[in-house]
Amino acid sequence: MRHYEIIFMIHPDQTSEQVLKIVNNYKEFIKKNHGLVHRLEDWGRRQLSYKINKLQKAYYILLNVELSPKIIIILKDKFRFDNVVIRNLILQLKNKVVTMSPVLKLKDEKNKSL
């Protein structure tokens, strides 16, 4: 089992309920294949730095998981053939990460100051 950080972007036409359902499907896939989800963060709908398929916004999701390399290959294929996933990035890490990401920390600080 190895540690991975996964970030994927979901098409902005999806509703919040649909995004939640998509995330839960991937989470269940990981758990069914004896993986562990150490961190799940929904960064919300954000502006893209450049257009992707004529889109300017997307929903960002961050996952830190522990999976076998064989399952990661299957997960990459699932991302590739899922029409609502615009882009994805999978990084292998040395250790598990459970702390809050800098993106969410910044978001929380903004909310506290208001």
On whether the CB atoms of residues 45 and 11 are closer than 8 A, the answer is no
pLDDT value at residue 114: 64
CA distance linking residue 27 with residue 100, whole number of Å: 18
Q: Are 5 and 43 in contact (CB under 8 A)?
A: no
Domain boundaries, the chain: 2-113
Q: What integer pLDDT is reported at residue 5 of this predicted model? A: 95
Q: What is the pLDDT of residue 65?
A: 94
For the domain 2-113, what is the CATH code?
3.30.70.60
pTM for this entry: 0.87
**Quick one: pLDDT at residue 112?**
73
- The mean pLDDT values, 10 residues at a time, for the chain of 114 residues are 94 93 95 94 91 93 94 95 94 88 77 69
**Measured distance CA(52)–CA(73) in Å, rounded:** 24
Distance CA 96, CA 18 (A): 28
